[in-house]
Amino acid sequence: MPHSPSGATKRCDGQPPRVWSVQGIMSFHHPTLAGNLSGPLAAAVLALALLSPASGETLRCAGLQVSVVAEDPTLANRICRVAATALDRLSQCGLRQTSRFDIRVSRALPSAFDGCFGVYHCADNSVEILDPAALARAAEATGNFAQLPTDVLFDSLIVHEISHVLTYQSGLSNPRTSAEIEYIAYAMQMEALPASARDLLRRAHAIQRPVTVTSLNDVILAFAPEVFAVKAWTHFTTPGNGCSFVQRVLDGTVPFPSTFR
């Protein structure tokens, strides 16, 4: 389902917005409703954006600097297992965790993030994701990633959002475009999928090689997130790219097209 630019992204250090965020189907990196608002009103709007119906017990993942808040203990333990694998895999690309973060499972995301499956709140260093039942409904409603089994999509969503956390913690806190941060998240999400699930998406979207950085832009991200995901993974797995390219993105040396800037 096509989505359009939703507003300005506010930097976590409180500086003025510098990059357009896109109503992505998976996440916002630095979510806010503040846009061009300022002062107390902006603070109030941001506070409302961070409210959620997430509830349940808090589980500290053994051996990890990660906590999970979920109503279902079995689901919480599963998230811990997925997080452990994701953190190890992401570290191989130089994406390293520097501080603890939380993962909250919600029946619904705040209305500011309508159409999203998950969101990374950089202001309080937490991830918020839909529970599996809500995720299945959202996927069906949007048509994005709906062909994937819900459990597979859920696990990959965790990887996607943890990628955002580590991208921010690795120093990319002031991205010039949404595409550069979503490139990392979608490439890692696709890489984490079982081959059979990944092939479902690849068959649905015939991607012409080579994939150029120019084609990895905010327009494709906004209107065709599945296409962006397949393009990102295809580019990532092209010889000469991979983790070395991710490092260049983190260093800010890749000229992603600033379509909505």
Angstrom distance (rounded) from CA 69 to CA 105: 6
Say if residues 129 and 78 touch (Cβ distance below 8 Å): no
- For 189, the enclosing helix (H) or strand (E) is helix 178-192
For the segment 177-199, the average pLDDT, to the nearest whole number, is 96
The closest alpha carbon to 113, from 23, 221, 244, 182, belongs to 23
For the segment 19-29, the average pLDDT, to the nearest whole number, is 38
In this structure, the strands spanning 118-121 and 126-130 are antiparallel
CA 172 to chain centre: 14
Tokens in use for 104? 């909250």
pLDDT at 261 over 60: no
**Lowest-pLDDT range of 11-15, 70-74, 157-161, 171-175:** 11-15
pLDDT at 18 over 80: no
Share of the chain above pLDDT 90, in %: 69
Quick one: pLDDT at residue 254? Answer: 92
Phi/psi region, residue 87 (left: phi>0; alpha: psi -120 to 50; beta: rest), is alpha
Per-residue pLDDT tens for 114-143?
Answer: 889 999 999 899 999 999 999 999 999 999
Radius of gyration of the chain (CA): 17
Per-residue pLDDT tens for 129-183?
Answer: 999 999 999 999 999 999 999 999 999 999 999 999 999 999 998 888 999 999 9
The whole-chain average pLDDT of the chain stands at: 82
CA 5 to chain centre: 16
pLDDT at 199 over 80: yes
What does the DSSP 8-state code read for residue 11? P
For the segment 51-72, the average pLDDT, to the nearest whole number, is 86
Is the preceding peptide bond at 210 cis, omega within 30 degrees of 0? Answer: yes
Predicted structure pTM score: 0.82
